[in-house]
């Protein structure tokens, strides 16, 4: 057994997990390294951020996913660099040698050089991000309920989402649902259904990767939910009191960043010890078999890989990462057997984005669906996708509950709540009660 090749996978996202599973019966030793102990179902993060699902509903411990795979072990640790010449992965607190390396560390936010926007406008990539956004959204309603100044109330009740891609669209729809349907009867002085939800996109249309019909449908459905959509309006400033976009100042106490992504910084260290080049987004431009130029024992998959398939760039979506993971496991097995590797071909299975309850858009096999049909498709795909998770059942229960009851279970503010208001005020002096 000691002669088994050592395959190291960095990153337990969709690509990394799928690759690990595909090695199940292969004669290799497998080590999965991740800085989190859980695989995250990122496409549903926005539902955690709006209190619809619990963090644990969309996360599954990597150890549990691989517990029956005896050739796999899991290391909780953060890879800091890769030395493709020495064939070593350096961790913050150790190092791991490999025979084959699969790098699947994905992407993170990019604030386009404005790192000072991170604090006032958190993004949505991790569970911690989602819980923090949930906290800010819920605290905003609490603060509005306690305010007396009408302008301040309006500022607390204005939510701005920057970026009209799938995350921005889904987040805007879920926030609209939250304010219009869920919180409706919870407050006494404010009317949450009057909250302003503003979705700002720098380019000319929402969901730029989808068909024009779907973009237009998404905009229509969001507007029906009361979301204000602003296009062609790049954001030029963000602080904790609001946003400047297209020369206009918009006051808001809650801003969410859904605009830019940047590839994982491991791309740079791959380029440093191989012949690989990075594209503008920092992704590694890989060979057609997903290996790295100059290091045929290193493969890059998922959002960190830049590759064309049949003349078109492969999109940064989970189905692409899953297909790449499976393909790479096959290529590594072929390479171990001395067979040539095969080029990767992406099979486009369509694109979906959901817009609040019972509304969505879908581009599938040349069709552009919207409304309830697209939403049912979204629901079906996501339930199917929660593969191998015990979470599947719980998520269905939670969704069914949310759908039937207009209620959300996970509306928790955790972390200490700092003083909400800026001055001491006599709360009882306001006629706060029985306003309805």
Q: Does 97 bind a copy of itself (CB under 8 A)?
A: yes
> Residue 34 and residue 52: Cα distance in Å, rounded?
27
Within positions 161 to 220, which residues make up the interface with a copy of itself, using CB under 8 A? 185-189
> Residue 81 and residue 56: Cα distance in Å, rounded?
30
Q: Which of 133, 290, 333, 410 binds a copy of itself (CB under 8 A)?
A: 410
Which residues face 262 on adjacent strands? 108
Residue window 50-79: x/- pattern of binding to a copy of itself, with contact defined by CB under 8 A: ----xxxx-x-x-xx--xx-xx-xxxxxx-
CB of 154 to a copy of itself, least distance (A): 19
Q: Which of 24, 35, 136, 196 binds a copy of itself (CB under 8 A)?
A: 35
Q: Which of 5, 22, 24, 36 binds a copy of itself (CB under 8 A)?
A: 36
Q: Does 265 bind a copy of itself (CB under 8 A)?
A: no
Task: Determine the interface stretch with a copy of itself among 212-220, 302-310, 367-375, 421-429 (rule: CB under 8 A).
Answer: 421-429
CB of 134 to a copy of itself, least distance (A): 10
> Residue 77 and residue 95: Cα distance in Å, rounded?
10
* CB nearer to a copy of itself: pick between 281 and 336: 336
> Residue 422 and residue 407: Cα distance in Å, rounded?
31
Q: Which of 13, 23, 29, 123 binds a copy of itself (CB under 8 A)?
A: 29
> Residue 382 and residue 396: Cα distance in Å, rounded?
10
CB of 93 to a copy of itself, least distance (A): 3
* CB nearer to a copy of itself: pick between 68 and 280: 68
Q: Does 17 bind a copy of itself (CB under 8 A)?
A: no
Q: Does 25 bind a copy of itself (CB under 8 A)?
A: no
Residue among 214, 129, 130, 120 nearest 166 (CA) = 214
Using CB under 8 A, count the residues that bind a copy of itself: 79
Within positions 361 to 400, which residues make up the interface with a copy of itself, using CB under 8 A? 390-391, 393-394, 397-398
53, 124, 365, 382 from 44: Cα distances, Å? 8, 10, 23, 9
* Largest interatomic CA distance in the chain: 81
The catalytic position among 18, 52, 145, 170 is: 170
Q: Which of 82, 96, 200, 202 binds a copy of itself (CB under 8 A)?
A: 96
CB of 361 within 8 A of CB of 374? yes
State the residue for tokens 């179902």.
41
CB of 429 within 8 A of CB of 94? no
Q: Which of 211, 281, 364, 413 binds a copy of itself (CB under 8 A)?
A: 413
Residue window 126-155: x/- pattern of binding to a copy of itself, with contact defined by CB under 8 A: -xx--x------xx--x--xx---------
Known active-site residue 428: no
CB of 201 to a copy of itself, least distance (A): 31
CB of 319 within 8 A of CB of 329? no
CB of 112 within 8 A of CB of 260? yes
First-residue to last-residue Cα distance in the chain: 74
31, 33, 76, 198 from 12: Cα distances, Å? 11, 7, 10, 34
Q: 396: buried, middle or exposed (CB in 10 Å: 19+, 13-18, 0-12)?
A: middle
Q: Does 412 bind a copy of itself (CB under 8 A)?
A: yes
Q: Does 94 bind a copy of itself (CB under 8 A)?
A: yes
CB of 336 within 8 A of CB of 98? no
Catalytic residues, by residue number, are: 170
């Amino acid at each position: 057994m000691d002669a088994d090749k050592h395959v190291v996978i960095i990153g337990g996202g969709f690509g990394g997990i799928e690759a690990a599973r595909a090695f199940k019966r292969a004669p290799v030793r497998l080590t999965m390294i991740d800085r989190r102990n859980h695989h995250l179902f990122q496409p549903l993060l926005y539902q955690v951020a709006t209190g619809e699902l619990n963090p644990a509903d969309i996360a599954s411990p990597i150890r549990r996913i691989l517990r029956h795979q005896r050739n796999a072990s899991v290391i909780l640790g953060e890879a800091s660099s890769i030395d493709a010449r020495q064939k070593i992965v350096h961790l913050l607190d150790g190092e791991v040698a490999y025979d084959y390396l699969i790098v699947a560390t994905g992407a993170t936010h990019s604030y386009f050089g404005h790192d000072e926007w991170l604090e006032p406008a958190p993004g949505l990539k991790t569970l911690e991000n989602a819980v923090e956004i949930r906290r800010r959204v819920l605290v905003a309603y609490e603060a509005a309920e306690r305010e007396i100044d009408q302008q301040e109330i309006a500022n607390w009740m204005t939510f701005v989402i920057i970026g009209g891609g799938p995350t921005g669209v889904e987040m805007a729809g879920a926030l609209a649902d939250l304010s219009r349907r869920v919180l409706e009867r919870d407050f006494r002085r404010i009317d949450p259904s009057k909250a302003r939800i503003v979705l700002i996109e720098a380019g000319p249309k929402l969901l730029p990767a989808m068909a024009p019909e779907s973009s237009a449908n998404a905009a229509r459905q969001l507007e029906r939910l009361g979301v204000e959509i602003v296009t062609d309006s790049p954001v030029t400033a963000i602080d904790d009191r609001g946003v400047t976009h297209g020369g206009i100042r918009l006051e808001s106490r809650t801003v969410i960043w859904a605009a830019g992504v940047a590839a994982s910084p491991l791309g740079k260290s791959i380029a440093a010890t191989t012949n690989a080049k990075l594209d503008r987004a920092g992704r590694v431009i890989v060979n057609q078999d997903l290996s790295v130029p100059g290091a045929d024992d290193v493969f890059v998959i998922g959002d960190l890989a830049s590759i064309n398939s049949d003349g078109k760039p492969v999109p940064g979506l989970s189905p692409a990462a899953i297909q790449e993971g499976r393909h790479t496991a096959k290529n590594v097995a072929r390479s171990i057997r001395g067979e040539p590797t095969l080029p990767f071909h992406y099979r486009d299975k369509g694109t979906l984005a959901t817009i609040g309850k019972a509304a969505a858009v879908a581009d599938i096999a040349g069709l552009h669906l919207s409304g309830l049909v697209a939403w049912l498709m979204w629901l079906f795909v996501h339930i199917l996708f929660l593969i191998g998770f015990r979470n599947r059942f719980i998520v269905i229960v939670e969704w069914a509950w949310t759908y039937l009851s207009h209620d959300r279970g996970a509306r928790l503010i955790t972390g200490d709540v700092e003083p909400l208001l800026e001055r001491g005020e006599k709360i009882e002096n306001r006629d706060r009660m029985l306003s309805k």
